[in-house]
């Protein structure tokens, strides 16, 4: 059995403590005209699941989504299938939390779970007024695999921050 998490909201936490899943049976109203699940529906569920993982890590208060990236859809999902989203924190900065989000689907008639998508959510913890970024607990990093995970996440964050600069520049350029 896992050791209970510390009540100390500043104590470092393992990635496994944030792991969370959410599942639904897809409905006709969620489909596009071709009968497959709308990508936007999956994005919304992915964001919600990633946010819950981030909140579990933070253990308090408010968070907001700063970016959803690398969301890749591998195969279509059909109406009536069960969709399961799994998220886990993969990196934290001073106030930011990255979660890996994976999406699976299976037919209810022939249940065989297949991976249909994967991406990352980047969340920022906010203060009690919901205005300013707020520091978050560190992510426990103990093994060589954790070190590799941290390095990969730092590289992704560099790319995201470059995209944020690009987005800001476009706003100035086109409006």
Residues contributing to the site for ligand COA (CB under 6 A): 64-67, 93-96, 122, 124, 133, 157, 160-161, 164
Contact 46, 71 (CB under 8 A): yes
Report in angstroms how near the CB of residue 76 gets to ligand COA at its nearest: 26
CB of residue 65 to ligand COA, shortest distance in Å: 4
Q: Identify which of residues 124 and 153 has a Cβ nearer to ligand COA in the complex.
A: 124
- The span from the CA of 74 to the CA of 85, in Å, is 14
Nearest approach in angstroms of CB 67 to ligand COA is 4
In the bound state with ligand COA, the residue whose beta carbon lies nearer, of 14 and 135, is 135
Residue nearest to ligand COA (CB): 93
Measured from the CB atom, the residue of 90 and 95 that comes closer to ligand COA is 95
CB < 8 Å & 24+ apart, contacts of 105-110:
105/75, 105/77, 105/81, 106/81, 106/82, 107/78, 107/80, 107/81, 108/25, 108/80, 108/81, 108/82
């Amino acid at each position: 059995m896992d050791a209970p998490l510390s009540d100390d909201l500043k104590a470092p936490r393992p990635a496994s403590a944030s792991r969370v899943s959410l599942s639904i049976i897809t409905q006709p109203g969620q489909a596009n005209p071709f009968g497959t699940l709308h990508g936007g529906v999956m994005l919304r569920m992915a964001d919600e699941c990633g946010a819950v993982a981030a909140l579990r890590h933070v253990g308090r208060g408010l968070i907001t989504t700063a970016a959803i990236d690398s969301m890749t859809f591998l195969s279509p999902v059909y109406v009536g299938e069960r969709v399961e989203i799994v998220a886990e924190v993969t990196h934290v900065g001073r106030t930011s939390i990255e979660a890996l989000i994976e999406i699976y689907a299976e037919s209810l008639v022939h249940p065989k779970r297949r991976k249909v998508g994967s991406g990352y959510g980047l969340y920022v913890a906010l203060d009690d007024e919901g205005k300013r970024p707020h520091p978050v607990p560190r992510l426990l990093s103990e093994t060589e695999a954790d070190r590799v995970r941290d390095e990969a996440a730092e590289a992704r964050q560099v790319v995201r921050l470059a995209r944020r600069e690009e987005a800001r520049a476009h706003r100035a350029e086109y409006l």
